[in-house]
Amino acid sequence: MSAAVAAAVLVSRGGPRLEAALASVAWASERILIDPAARLAGEPLPAGVRRAEEPADATSAPWLLLLEEHEVVPPALADSIAATLGAPARFAAYRIGQEVRAFGATFHPVGAPVRLVERPGARLGLGPGLSPELRALRRGAGRLEGRLVVRAADSLAAALDDLDADAAALAALLARQRVVPRLRHLVLPALAAGTRAFAARGARWAAWQRWILTVLGGYRAVVAYAKLWEIRRAEASTPR
Q: What is the pLDDT of residue 48?
A: 85
Q: What is the pLDDT of residue 103?
A: 87
Residue by residue, DSSP assigns 56-101 as GGS---SEEEEEETTEE--HHHHHHHHHHHHSPP--SEEEEEEEEE
pLDDT by residue, tens only, the chain of 240 residues? 456 999 999 999 899 999 999 999 999 999 999 999 999 887 888 888 999 988 888 899 999 999 999 999 999 999 999 999 988 878 999 999 999 998 889 999 988 999 999 999 899 999 888 999 999 887 789 999 999 999 888 888 999 999 999 999 999 999 998 888 887 877 888 888 888 888 888 877 788 888 899 999 999 999 999 999 999 888 888 776
Neighbours of 105 (CB within 10 A): 19
Q: What is the pLDDT of residue 43?
A: 84
Q: What is the pLDDT of residue 118?
A: 94
Burial-class residue 179 by CB neighbours within 10 Å (0-12, 13-18, 19+): middle
Q: What is the pLDDT of residue 207?
A: 87
Q: What is the pLDDT of residue 188?
A: 84
Residue by residue, DSSP assigns 131-144 as -EEEE-SS---EEE
Q: What is the pLDDT of residue 151?
A: 86
Q: What is the pLDDT of residue 3?
A: 64
Q: What is the pLDDT of residue 183?
A: 77
Distance between CA atoms of 114 and 97, rounded to whole angstroms?
9
Q: What is the pLDDT of residue 26?
A: 94
Q: Which of 127, 21, 6, 13 is nearest to 62 (CA)?
A: 6
pTM: 0.92
